[in-house]
Amino acid sequence: MAQENKPGDELALQARDLVGKLRRIPVTSRRFVEDTQSAYERFRLRPGLLDLLAETGLPIERRDGQDWYDSHDLANIALHLNRGPLAVAARRFWPAALRQVDAAGSACYEIEYQLRCPTPTHGPTCRYVLAVPGGRLVERVVHADGPGLRESIRTTVNGSWPALPAAAVEVLDETRDFDFVMLPSDLRHDVGFIQESKLADCAGVAKLLALRARAAGLGARRSFGLIVAPPFAVEHSWAEIRVDDLWVPVDPVLIRAMIAWGVLSGPEWHPNRSIGSILTRIAEKGVHLGTHEGQPTHVTMPSRLVAGHSPRPDRPPTTAGNPTDDPATTLLSRLRADGLAIPADVDPVVARLQQVNQTLWDLEDAARGTPDDHRLGRLKRDIDAYNVRRAQLVSAIDELLAPALAQPTSRVAPLSCSLGTHFDRLTVAVLRSATLARVDDPRADDAARQLTELIDAIRADAADLRQARRRLPLPGVHKRYTAQVRHVVSDASSKEHDVAVTP
């Protein structure tokens, strides 16, 4: 009686097949820098699987009494043996997005670039530069003690692409027996190695296909950008072939990999069909998606489908970074023009309040979005800590403004809130307005009008105070926060990072 194949045997067969392919990569191109701990933390590969791979001949370096692995080997193993976030994305989210956009005809996505300061003690501010779809560079300066940078951008993808001419199909078919593999940097663009080994990195295949297509008399170019498939986006490279006036993105090697994994079927999606419906271009060749103080830094990119398929182009955000348009600054100068003697010390406190409210806004967003209770607990402690700072800044503004105001008797009616609280409300309204504008929400225009109204209302209150027609309210009883907050603020920089590998 024939022995039945157990799941373990199946895995062993897959591992042997994969390791056989990976061994075509010369050992001199490997860098053995991952230990068993990072193999699990970065790639979700358990020690038992590593032992199995070692038995099947995976190159390993033994030093200091332990085994060391090459990062690209581990990334390829995770992808092909279905371990870790990239493997999940490639099997579940990419095919789902292909089908979704195919059905809808087009899609508009919001991608949030999330970056965190790698060395929070270097100075008071962090300068980030982002490379975003369309090839724009976005520069942002934020306070180093905040939660980092979150920048939302929008991109629209097209679901319908023209068929390729026969000459292009012939070129794509040259990659028919290639395997989709991430290669070390010295081999990634080596088209000779790719043709010989049949191991194809996305960047190398893009280069090879563009070269071969041009040799066949076609218009062709390389492309670097993002695979956008909610819930996140990831870097990718591909080739584009010109058909009429359109650059048509192609990636037969990636589609064949999805067919091989059983997540797309050949009849449903031919390998030579465009996958432009999940791609958004940034540049011709690879660029750093994010830098911090000029150094490349990790970017996490959650993405979501925006309802309504709005074709409107990206709108620049209106928060921070543009002091001349900033409503809080506008209010300060209006109040001074109205005759209120506001000391210069108030301006940095208001700016700080704006930053703290931005941080709170981001933390509350994160708290609403996380399914992880442990992380939620930490976010809530951070939120409490920043609320304490917020209350302190509001009090500081009131104290700084007090000498500029008259000292009316208690017989006039009180205002509903102090000027410090007004500044607090204004900075929150600025955030709300900017967020709505950024996502093209129809309520954005109302929010902008409310901002103008709020500024006028605050000016009227300030005039009443100055002329003793109204008085300040009695100091309120503020919500009490616990004493553990200082400890919590320092904890805000230690939140976990998502680990992403670039295909």
Q: Residue 140 CB, nearest distance to Zn ion (Å)? A: 11
Q: Residue 122 CB, nearest distance to Zn ion (Å)? A: 5
CA 207/CA 194 separation, integer angstroms = 11
Q: Residue 493 CB, nearest distance to Zn ion (Å)? A: 10
Q: Residue 116 CB, nearest distance to Zn ion (Å)? A: 9
Quote the strand ranges of 285-365, DSSP E: 290-292, 295-296, 303-305
Using CB under 5 A, list all residues that contact Zn ion. 117, 126, 144
Q: Residue 282 CB, nearest distance to Zn ion (Å)? A: 23
- By beta-carbon proximity to Zn ion, the closer residue of 148 and 503 is 148
- By beta-carbon proximity to Zn ion, the closer residue of 126 and 153 is 126
- By beta-carbon proximity to Zn ion, the closer residue of 144 and 216 is 144
Residue carrying the six token digits 């584009």: 240
CA 404/CA 341 separation, integer angstroms = 5
Q: Residue 144 CB, nearest distance to Zn ion (Å)? A: 5
- By beta-carbon proximity to Zn ion, the closer residue of 126 and 428 is 126
Q: Residue 139 CB, nearest distance to Zn ion (Å)? A: 14
Number of other residues whose CB lies within 10 A of the CB of residue 124: 8
Number of other residues whose CB lies within 10 A of the CB of residue 2: 4
| H or E stretch at 335 | helix 327-337
Could you give the angle at the alpha carbon of 203 between the alpha carbons of 197 and 209, nearest 5°?
Answer: 75
Q: Residue 87 CB, nearest distance to Zn ion (Å)? A: 32
Looking at 105-228, list the stretches that DSSP marks H as alpha helix, in order from N- to C-terminal side: 166-173, 185-188, 191-197, 202-215
CA 280/CA 155 separation, integer angstroms = 7
Q: What is the DSSP letter of 479?
A: P
Give SS3 for 469.
coil
CA-to-CA dists, residue 395 to 39, 386, 402, 417, 419, angstroms: 50, 14, 11, 12, 10
Give SS3 for 154.
strand
- By beta-carbon proximity to Zn ion, the closer residue of 126 and 335 is 126
CA-to-CA dists, residue 160 to 70, 107, 167, 282, angstroms: 40, 11, 20, 20
CA 403/CA 127 separation, integer angstroms = 37
CA 182/CA 89 separation, integer angstroms = 16
- By beta-carbon proximity to Zn ion, the closer residue of 128 and 232 is 128
Q: Which of 245, 201, 194 is nearest to 224 (CA)?
A: 201
- By beta-carbon proximity to Zn ion, the closer residue of 145 and 235 is 145
- By beta-carbon proximity to Zn ion, the closer residue of 291 and 433 is 291
Q: Residue 125 CB, nearest distance to Zn ion (Å)? A: 7
Q: Residue 113 CB, nearest distance to Zn ion (Å)? A: 15
- By beta-carbon proximity to Zn ion, the closer residue of 126 and 253 is 126
- By beta-carbon proximity to Zn ion, the closer residue of 95 and 146 is 146
Q: Residue 127 CB, nearest distance to Zn ion (Å)? A: 8
- By beta-carbon proximity to Zn ion, the closer residue of 35 and 293 is 293
Q: Residue 502 CB, nearest distance to Zn ion (Å)? A: 23
- By beta-carbon proximity to Zn ion, the closer residue of 150 and 466 is 150
**Cis status, amide bond into 267, omega within 30 of 0:** no
Q: Residue 149 CB, nearest distance to Zn ion (Å)? A: 9
- How many Cα atoms occupy the beta-carbon half-sphere of 500 within 13 Å? 18
Q: Contact, 435 vs 377, CB < 8 A? A: no
CA 241/CA 210 separation, integer angstroms = 8
Q: Which long-range contacts (CB under 8 A, 24 or more apart) does 15-19 make?
A: 15/49, 15/52, 15/53, 15/56, 15/77, 15/81, 16/56, 16/57, 18/76, 18/77, 18/80, 18/81, 19/53, 19/56, 19/57, 19/58
Residue carrying the six token digits 């490379």: 131
- By beta-carbon proximity to Zn ion, the closer residue of 294 and 348 is 294
